[in-house]
Structure 1
Amino acid sequence: MTAPAPGPRTGSRTGVTGLLLGCGALAGPLYLVTGFAQAFTRDGFDLARHPFSFLSLGEGGWVQIANFVLTGLLFLAMAFGVRRALAGQRGGTGGPVLLGIFAIGMVGGGVFVADPAFGFPVGAPDGPPEVLSWHGTLHGVAFFAAFPALVAACFVFARRFHGGWSWYCAATGVLSVVPVAFLGSEWGTVLLYAVAVVSWLWVSAIALKLRAEI
């Protein structure tokens, strides 16, 4: 005896949820590939000194601004997809909210650009800015909203899943806070890049995992 085919509303709901989660699956690789492609081609940019945020500055900065905004919107769509996929289940409230904060923080990181510093773009002061601009301040606010939300989401999903996926989520959360102890040191920026690769791909992996379950 075969199971009945899903009705139009059920099939449509599943399709929309899958599409929203697919946005999240795309977002992580898109952000990283676009960011690293610029990092290796922008004059004066040094991965050991400059975070991705600095790519929003100078000639061609619009590419990274668009990268921030588009990736953030894709992750925001994913947050709605997670809410639909996990409605009434463990992690179905906290997970989407945290992912939404992370996504909005990324959009804010693109809208409000960092201040020129540490020799980038070419001609900028070789050290930190003497005075933060209003947009540089809001850029920092966006980062300090998005990053903790992402770390917290790791542990929410660690409780949602079981076995290897639970350990994967927890390990990502722990690894994500390691660079905090090294901020300001010569290794701090390099570690931030390592964490960016791990954590952004983790979000996309969660999107693929939930998409496979619907």
Structure 2
Amino acid sequence: MKNTLLLAGAIAGPLYVGIGTVEALVRDGFDIRIHPLSVLANGPGGWVHSAMMITTGLLTVLGVVGLRGSVPRVTAIGLAIYGLGVTAAGMMTADPVAGFPPGTPTTPPETISWHGLGHFLAGAIGFLGLIVAALALAWRLRRDGRPGWAAFSLITGVFYLAAFVGIGASGGQPALNIAFSVAVVLGWTWISLLMLRNRTAGTGS
């Protein structure tokens, strides 16, 4: 059962990145340099993005159940918060922005809807959970004499934090938007490899 739960957590990242990449490429009017990935939940076919977020968030939570006892408690809690944050954000659609979907004004919105605000808050809380999870694991692994994974976890946490702060203060600058997209991919990669690493350890191989 534990290995099944870890496998569920491991596939969340590839699903999120894979589906999100396809959406970004095929949806008319979407530009990764300008638009956050979450606005893909708007317009025709937006339900695909919402369903993907809810599914991958729940898969992450299942993976955390499989991680119990294998990682620091702070890491497990942080990852659970991340999974729940992604799920909650998927349930609340981000507001259209910067001309997406096509027909949306390119000027900044005058008001923020309740679901747009909820999406932002859920996502922000989830991101902070992931950052704390990665940094806590980095500290534990460094103490335990495993510098490779400690460095990977530290880089993930620090880069994600820097990108998160940057995009919040960027005002839509393309370089920072792309940097945050890279951080998202890095974060999901870290989660998937963490799940697989513990799944392999559990098999004794």
Decide whether the 8 Å contact of 2:13 with 2:188 is kept in 1. yes
Runs of 5+ consecutive residues of structure 2 not aligned to the other structure: none
1:191 maps to 179
Q: CA deviation at 1:29?
A: 0.8
Map 1:46-85 onto structure 2 (within 5 A). Answer: 46-83=31-68, 85=69
Aligned-pair identity in percent equals 37
Question: 3-state SS of the aligned residue for 2:174?
Answer: coil
Confirm or deny that 1:165 pairs with 2:152.
Answer: no
Confirm or deny that 1:210 pairs with 2:198.
Answer: yes
Q: CA deviation at 1:175?
A: 1.2
- TM-score, scaled to structure 2: 0.91
Q: Extract structure 1 runs of 4+ deviating beyond 3 A.
A: none
Choose from 149, 156, 160 the match for 2:129.
149
Runs of 5+ consecutive residues of structure 1 not aligned to the other structure: 1-15
| Deviation by residue 1:66-93 (Cα, 9 ceiling, x = unmatched) | 110000010010111111x42xxx60x2
Decide whether the 8 Å contact of 2:74 with 2:132 is kept in 1. no
- TM-score, scaled to structure 1: 0.87
Decide whether the 8 Å contact of 1:82 with 1:95 is kept in 2. no
Q: Which has the larger radius of gyration?
A: 1
| Deviation by residue 1:131-158 (Cα, 9 ceiling, x = unmatched) | 0000001001111100111011111111
Higher helix share: 2
1:27 maps to 12
Between the two proteins, the alignment pairs up a number of residues equal to 194
Q: CA deviation at 1:55?
A: 0.6
Q: Which moved more, 1:172-181 or 1:146-155?
A: 172-181
For the residues of structure 1 that align with 2:166 and 2:18, how far apart are their CA atoms? 27
Q: Which amino acid aligns with 1:164?
A: G
| Deviation by residue 1:99-153 (Cα, 9 ceiling, x = unmatched) | 1100010011110011111000011110222100000010011111001110111
1:120 maps to 100
Q: CA deviation at 1:163?
A: 1.9
For the residues of structure 1 that align with 2:111 and 2:166, how far apart are their CA atoms? 24
